[in-house]
Amino acid sequence: MRRSKKNSKAKSNQKPVSRAAAKRTLLRPGRFVARNTEKGPMRIGIVAVQGDFAAHAAMLRRLGADSVEVRTVSDLEGCEGIILPGGESTTQLQFLREEGLFDAIRQFASHGGPVFGTCAGAILLATKVKNPPQESLGLLDMTVLRNGYGRQLASDVFFERTKLKKDPLEMVFIRGPIIEETGKGISILATHEGKAALVEKGNILAATFHPELTDDPTVHEHFLDMAAKGAAQAASAS
């Protein structure tokens, strides 16, 4: 089964936050700590520069969560989780650097905020990237190989076993990376062709495939569970 999917780029009419303003924001401890979910639907930020971020938003909406497109540091205000979608990792990395989001996302994660990366987003989360090497957020102790399955012209769809449910999990791969190695404490939730395809540690979740392009909400539901736990911990600590 094959189906093609083109990446989309989004333009923003919002004015970028100045570096000085971004720095002041980052110096405020707990600014991005989760709010009390009893006050309304959970709010998840989706970095909206490339990839099918609209599909992520649709999946979250289906599960009863709100989402916000993140293009500046100020867009993270009130978010209880962050999704890094697919696309081209070097382009996204440059965008994160230019907008001050690179440090903001790292700080969000350091405060226990959950971060979920799919495909290129998983590359950005890794501590080591190959083919070729590049900088990353370094939030998940793993080594990833870019375009590990080759430069596909269309998507490849597989159904694999997962620890998240009894039934097979649908996986859509589009020029996906391969997780070559995982560090200590990494939990492998699903594999493909003998390689980890869905992994987590603490508040960080990464998938080498595109769960947002399927009808199966399992992975996003798991991420929302992570965000809910983070919100509860933040509320008890405040």
Q: Tell me: the pLDDT tens digits for 37-79?
A: 456 899 999 999 987 899 999 999 999 999 999 999 999 999 9
Question: pTM for the complete prediction?
Answer: 0.83
Output the pLDDT for position 154.
56
Tokens of 61: 């909406």
31 within some domain = no
76 within some domain = yes
* Number of domains composing the chain: 1
Indicate if 80 belongs to the active site: no
Indicate if 119 belongs to the active site: yes
Most distant CA pair in the chain: distance in Å? 50
139 within some domain = yes
Query: For residue 134, what is the domain's CATH number?
Result: 3.40.50.880
Catalytic residue among 192, 210, 220, 222: 210
Indicate if 222 belongs to the active site: no
Provide mean pLDDT across the span 86-91.
91
21 within some domain = no
22 within some domain = no
What contacts 194, CB < 8 A, 6 or more positions away?
none
Catalytic residue among 80, 99, 119, 192: 119
In which domain, by residue range, is 224 found? 2-11+39-237
Confidence of residue 20 (pLDDT cuts 50, 70, 90): very low
Do the Cβ atoms of 123 and 89 come closer than 8 Å? Answer: yes
Q: Provide φ and ψ at 33, rounded to 5°.
A: -65, 140
Burial of 211 (0-12, 13-18, 19+ CB in 10 A): buried
Tokens of 213: 């392009």
17 within some domain = no
Q: Cα–chain-centroid distance for residue 102?
A: 13
Do the Cβ atoms of 162 and 186 come closer than 8 Å? Answer: no
Q: What is the C-alpha separation between 112 and 32, in angstroms, rounded?
A: 10
28 within some domain = no
Closest CA to 125 of 80, 83, 163: 83
Q: Tell me: the pLDDT tens digits for 126-177?
A: 999 998 899 999 999 999 999 776 665 557 899 999 999 999 999 999 888 9
Catalytic residue among 80, 99, 200, 212: 212
56 within some domain = yes
Confidence of residue 22 (pLDDT cuts 50, 70, 90): very low
Do the Cβ atoms of 22 and 60 come closer than 8 Å? Answer: no
